[in-house]
Amino acid sequence: MAIPVLTIDGPSGAGKGTVSRAVAKKLGWHYLDSGSIYRSLAIAVLKQNVELTNEPGIVKTAQSMSLEFECDDELVVKLDGEDITSQLGLESTGNAASVIAALPEVRRVLLQKQRDFRKMPGLVADGRDMGTVVFPDAEIKVFLTASATERAQRRYKQLIEKGIDANLSLLTNEIEERDRRDTERKTAPLAMASDALYIDSSDMTIDSVIEEILNLIR
Ligand code: DC
């Protein structure tokens, strides 16, 4: 029997992480935060002073890096044995991840690392190309989005609550720029799978999004 997969794709800041973690916990399924793989590679690349345009250099880093994911309530990620969790959420990490994620050979190397997360009793996978490229045979696919303004406002609130200084118009610009890069790249762009359910969470609470997805599974 195929191991069931629920894919949740969408742009950055749509709430995919929170929703996916909650749904995975409720179902007792595994969770793949594919963005954190691209983010971890970005951290490794920046550490090794490899240029973000040096595709062969980045591929080499991707092939040699060792990643460990520990997921209880919070995700803990170790890169070559070092805990890099606190660097994962930085805007600079996300932007660098989006740049290297546009390189086709880099995506190819990371494909199997993502598919390895498919284990019994099931997997919730969040990202940009989970339903289109990584798990095209997934039983249930969701495309979760929200307006760029709403996503920037949510991100702004998160940062301020953490005591991190933030600028709303700069965040909006960065989100729009990231959307453009993720959507317009040639390889595995951010796109809705033809068999996915579209959810716009702009005017929804996170709890109602979670409920809608759980109802879909039931
Ligand atoms: O979901 P996230 O914000 O953590 O992802 C960071 C970047 O990684 C995102 O801007 C593009 C890239 N990414 C990707 O290309 N494909 C995925 N499945 C997940 C992330």
Q: Digits of tens for pLDDT over the chain (218 positions)?
A: 789 999 999 998 899 999 999 999 999 999 999 999 999 999 999 999 999 999 999 999 999 999 998 876 778 999 999 999 999 988 899 999 999 999 999 999 999 999 999 999 999 999 999 999 999 999 999 999 999 999 999 999 988 998 889 999 999 999 999 999 999 999 999 999 999 999 999 999 999 999 999 999 88
- Residue 98 alpha carbon to ligand 1 centre in Å: 6
Question: How big, in percent rounded to 5, are the helix, strand and coil portions of the chain?
Answer: 50, 15, 35
pLDDT of residue 164: 86
Please identify, by atom number, the ligand 1 atom nearest to the C-alpha of residue 16. 1
Instruction: Return left, alpha or beta for 75; rule: phi > 0 is left, psi -120 to 50 is alpha, else beta.
Output: beta
Alpha carbon 92 to chain centroid, angstroms: 15
Interatomic CA distance for residues 116 and 141, integer angstroms: 19
Query: What total number of domains does the chain contain?
Result: 1
CA pair distance 194, 30, nearest whole angstrom: 24
Q: What is the pLDDT of residue 218?
A: 85
End-to-end Cα distance, the chain: 19
pLDDT at 123: 98
pLDDT at 75: 80
The CATH number of the domain where 46 resides is what? Answer: 3.40.50.300
Ligand 1 centre distance from Cα of residue 145 (Å): 14
Distance 34 CA to ligand 1 centre (A): 7
Give the domain extent around 76: 5-217
**Cβ(35) – ligand 1 distance below 6 Å:** yes
Q: How many CB atoms lie within 10 A of CB 204?
A: 16
H or E, element range at 96? helix 91-100
pLDDT of residue 32: 95
pTM for the model stands at: 0.92
